[in-house]
Chain A
Amino acid sequence: MGISLVFSPIWFFGYDSVLDLISFVITMLIGFYSYKIYKLTGKKNYFYLYLAFLLLSIALVVKSFANLSLYFDLLHRIGVRDTRLFGYQMAALALFGHVLLTLLGYITLIALTLKLKGKRIVSLLFFLVILTVLLAKNSFMFFHLISFALVLLYVTPYFYENYMNVKNVKALLVFLCFLFLSFSHLFLALVFYNNYLYVIGIILQMAGYLMLLINLLLVFKK
Chain B
Amino acid sequence: MSLRRDRLQIVNDILLSIQEKGGKIKPTHLLYKSNLAHNKMKLYLNELIEKDLIKEVDESGNKYYCLTENGIKFINEFKKIREFVDSFGL
Q: Are A41 and B86 in contact (CB under 8 A)?
A: no
Q: Are A171 and B86 in contact (CB under 8 A)?
A: yes
> Total contacts A to B, CB within 8 angstroms?
52
Query: Given the known A-B contacts A40-B8, A41-B6, are A112 and B90 also in contact in the complex, defined by CB atoms under 8 Å?
Result: yes
Binds B, one of A77-85, A160-168, A190-198: A160-168
Cβ–Cβ < 8 Å partners of A158 in chain B: 89
Per-residue interface assignment for chain A, residues 148 to 182, with 1 indicating a CB less than 8 Å from any chain B CB and 0 otherwise: 00000000001101100110101101100000000
Binds B, one of A14-22, A61-69, A86-94, A212-220: A212-220
Q: Are B87 and A170 in contact (CB under 8 A)?
A: yes
- How far does the alpha carbon of A168 sit from the alpha carbon of B88 in the complex, in Å? 11
In the assembled complex, how far is the CB of residue A168 from the closest CB belonging to chain B, in whole angstroms? 7
B51-90 contacts to A (CB < 8 Å)? 76, 79-81, 83-90
Q: Are A159 and B81 in contact (CB under 8 A)?
A: no
Cβ–Cβ < 8 Å partners of B85 in chain A: 37, 46
- How far does the alpha carbon of A168 sit from the alpha carbon of B85 in the complex, in Å? 13
- How far does the alpha carbon of A165 sit from the alpha carbon of B86 in the complex, in Å? 10
Q: Are B84 and A216 in contact (CB under 8 A)?
A: yes
Q: Are B79 and A222 in contact (CB under 8 A)?
A: yes
- How far does the alpha carbon of A174 sit from the alpha carbon of B86 in the complex, in Å? 10
User: Nearest chain-A residue to B79 (Cβ)?
Assistant: A222
Cβ–Cβ < 8 Å partners of B83 in chain A: 170, 218-219
Cβ–Cβ < 8 Å partners of B90 in chain A: 45-46, 49, 112
Q: A33 an interface residue at 8 Å Cβ cutoff?
A: yes
User: Nearest chain-B residue to A112 (Cβ)?
Assistant: B90
Having A40-B81, A46-B90, A171-B88, one finds 7 other A-B pairs with CB under 8 Å, namely A37-B84, A46-B85, A162-B87, A166-B87, A170-B87, A174-B87, A222-B76
Interchain residue pairs A-B with the least CB separation, the first 3: A162-B89, A170-B87, A45-B90
Q: Which residues of B contact A (CB under 8 A)?
A: 6, 8, 76, 79-81, 83-90
